[in-house]
Structure 1
Amino acid sequence: MSVSENGTAAVAQPSTVRVNKHKADWRGWKFMWPFALVFVFVFVIPIVYAIYISFFQKKMIGGTQFVGFSNYLRLFRDQQFWSAVGRVALFTVVQV
């Protein structure tokens, strides 16, 4: 350790050693893949499929018919739906 002119000791700067400075570390991603696959198959695919089939009307006899947004229009015009939404909102406000 050398002493500078004003009587204080000079502090050595730590050297920064970068190991593997150009290669990405993919080890963490390898542990993430099983979770990602389960998440996609358990959550994402069923939600996308549910949205897809909501645009169709299924009949016991006669097959499936594409109806577009008419299922949603019928839902939003239904009083029972809005009554249920009100009850759920009230329950949420009271419980939270």
Structure 2
Amino acid sequence: MENIILTSINLHSLELIIQKSVTAAMALSMPEKTLKEPDQTFSIPELAEYLKVTKATIHAYKKRGIFKYYQTGRTVFFKKSEVDAALAIGKKKG
């Protein structure tokens, strides 16, 4: 860290120096990505397009419990990370 000699400095300049020092110290001590990005969600038609299958196939998968789903009123949606995980498990099984 550099040494700064404060002889005649105005309040604004002092605030900037402190702010830069605190910001630099925090950047060193905190991980780069502390906020988690939200997971992408699919509706039934979007998931059908993503997987290149029909909507009826998605309904069948939902009914059989292959994909975990969430429902708000009549709206059904799927999380991309959970769909990808289910597909990975399916590939491992055969």
Q: What is the TM-score normalised by the length of structure 2? A: 0.25
Tell me: higher relative CO, structure 1 or 2? Use CA pairs within 8 A at least 6 residues apart: 2
Bigger Cα Rg:
1
Give 1 or 2: higher strand fraction. Answer: 2
